[in-house]
Structure 1
Amino acid sequence: MKYIWVSICVSLLSLTLFYFYQVTKEESVVKYFPIDEEVKFESAETSLSFQEGEGDDEYEVGWKIKSKSDEKVYLRQDVSLLYVNGRLKGVVNKWKENADEINKHSTLHGEDTKKYEAVTFHHGEIHKDDDVINSIQATSGDLLYIIDSPHSNRIAFKKPETQEEEKWKNKLDHSIHQQLKAQWDELKAYYQIPVEQYEQVPLTDLPSYNEENPFPYIPQGQYNRISGQLWEGLYKNYVLGIKDAKSKHPIQSYIPLLLFDKKGKHLMVLYEDDQGEKNQLIQYY
């Protein structure tokens, strides 16, 4: 079944640099190939961690991506996106040839109350002979709440375990959701999206889906293909725009919104960069 990616931009402005960008000099390419039946991922993980900083008003956030296949493959690659309070903070894009493992740890400076969300696509390209190319893939993610308020002790958690943590989580989630909703509503109105015909999913929710729990309304048994092609399009249109950026300030763009057609024909990705450039990607199944 063929697929088509359409990228619609309101101007030719290039995307802006993220706060944090790591990549080797030559870009690799994330490309979907049929899933290999023999090679598997032994592990595929994303983790966010909290460390106290040197000053009372500062702290550090560890951002780690790690994956290992059960044998060396032609190309291993992990692409990770980090959002802070709903806005893009950075991207890590690491790849190796003839390798089985990717392991990358980064540390970011933080301050004030924040919600950190990371999502990672783990990919491997397998060349068994000149004519056959297969792949392996997995998606992982993590989140971390850090509460840094003058009215309470600094706390960090992934899942609330006390009433105080639950209160802070709900307060922060509500504030972030209101900002995201305003951004997404503007994009849906701009592209005249009939919202009742779509299931809406934030990009940061992708790790909650897998072959056993597939995307909503997609054809049965097609999760791996659609997920792989989705990340292929995101990488080409959303991630690689970073390196050609002109602006010197952070992009701070909001989390993209995915819309899954309830008729099972296509999906869309909507996002806007910090200069107001609106983007719509369409993937037909």
Structure 2
Amino acid sequence: MRKKKVQVLTLLIAAVTIFTLFIFPCLLMDRPTITYFPENPRIRFVKAETNLNIRPEDKIMRLHVSSETNEANDLMQNFSLLYRNNRLVSILNRWQKNTRQLSSIKELELSSGFFTALSVHQAERHIDQSIYGKEQLSQDFLMVVPSNGSFRAFREPKSTVEANLLSSYTRELDTGRQELLRKAAKRYGFRLSDYRVVPLDALTGESVSRIFPFGEKKSERITGQLWEGIYKNYVRGIQLTQGQRVQALGSTMPLLLIAQDHMLIIIETESHQIVLLRQNFS
């Protein structure tokens, strides 16, 4: 009887491992990936929004992502990463052909913490036998705290208690990020003083040209290629070694280390392994 239980447990572990390392990445691969294409002025977003809200009575958190362009596109995609306390808890990826509007909703079990949702909205159009694209970034954040056996949420603190909660989380986050950077620099042999450090959630449509001060077209290309790399090398599985890949869920929000001609992306996996990716600026 004991031997049979051991065999069943072994099979379950094997099944989970196969799904995590092989099936889950393949499910994502069946969908269009975030791919950078040069822009065309004919493609314009009239709406690109990410919204987090809660239903305390149902213990539900709702992530709603929507976008709309001026004309129909050959392909539209909404792709979102949801973090709780700086760790990835959910991925939302929806695409549709021949449309100018796209809306995506995901509901999760409600829990306390600081939630950040980052989205990239992409429209792709084929014009004169060439492929063009347009990307728009949006985000939302929400602090969820316990309240009388239920939950409440806020974006901006409206009381001393809320301000202290947010301040405490920010200090803890900054300390954790500094420690991660210190360990990454030691492991991979780079000098932090050579880089500007920017967390991924600081990258918005308004801040792109300030974070990448290389001119509008180049900064937009770098941003598009960054999200393409995040999808292919992060969301579809983080490669640790030649034959080892782990899921992105549970990993930290990427930290961008920006130099003049390249950028390093630092991530810590759920099992606390530090991963470094590199993007060269062409």
TM (normalized to structure 1)?
Answer: 0.80
Task: Tell me which amino acid in the other structure corresponds to 2:202.
Answer: D
CA contact (8 A) 1:271 1:278 kept: yes
For residues 40-86 of structure 1, the C-alpha deviation after alignment (integer angstroms, 9 at most, x for no partner) is 001001111121135xxxx3211111111111111111110000011
1:208-247 alignment, distance < 5 Å = 209-210=206-207, 214-221=209-216, 222-241=218-237
For residues 160-217 of structure 1, the C-alpha deviation after alignment (integer angstroms, 9 at most, x for no partner) is 122221111111222233233323322232112211111101112222644xx51435
CA contact (8 A) 2:56 2:152 kept: no
Aligned partners of 2:176, 2:147: CA distance in 1, in Å?
Answer: 21
For residues 124-165 of structure 1, the C-alpha deviation after alignment (integer angstroms, 9 at most, x for no partner) is 1110132x2111111110100011167x98431011122221
Secondary structure in 1 aligned to 2:50? strand
1:66-81 alignment, distance < 5 Å = 66-81=66-81
Secondary structure in 2 aligned to 1:181? helix
Seq. identity, %: 27
Flag the 1:53–1:73 CA change in 2: closer, same or farther, 3 A. Answer: same
RMSD: 3.0
Secondary structure in 1 aligned to 2:215? coil
Aligned partners of 1:276, 1:203: CA distance in 2, in Å?
Answer: 19
1:152-171 alignment, distance < 5 Å = 154-171=151-168
Identify the match of residue 200 of structure 1 among 197, 213, 216.
Answer: 197
Identify the match of residue 33 of structure 1 among 37, 40, 62.
Answer: 37
The structure with the largest helix share of the pair is: 2
CA contact (8 A) 2:234 2:248 kept: no
Task: Tell me which amino acid in the other structure corresponds to 1:29.
Answer: T
Q: What is the aligned partner in structure 2 of residue 179 from structure 1?
A: 176
Task: Tell me which amino acid in the other structure corresponds to 1:80.
Answer: S
Q: What is the aligned partner in structure 2 of residue 88 from structure 1?
A: 88
Flag the 1:24–1:283 CA change in 2: closer, same or farther, 3 A. Answer: closer
CA contact (8 A) 2:78 2:104 kept: no
Higher alpha-carbon Rg: 2
Aligned partners of 1:259, 1:15: CA distance in 2, in Å?
Answer: 32
Count of residue pairs brought into register by the alignment: 258
Q: What is the aligned partner in structure 1 of residue 241 from structure 2?
A: none
Q: Unpaired segments of 5 or more residues in structure 1?
A: 1-12
Q: What is the aligned partner in structure 2 of residue 6 from structure 1?
A: none
Flag the 1:250–1:192 CA change in 2: closer, same or farther, 3 A. Answer: closer
For residues 79-114 of structure 1, the C-alpha deviation after alignment (integer angstroms, 9 at most, x for no partner) is 100000111101111111111122011111123x30
Aligned partners of 1:25, 1:284: CA distance in 2, in Å?
Answer: 24
Aligned partners of 2:142, 2:202: CA distance in 1, in Å?
Answer: 14
Task: Tell me which amino acid in the other structure corresponds to 1:137.
Answer: E
Matched, 1:135 2:130: no
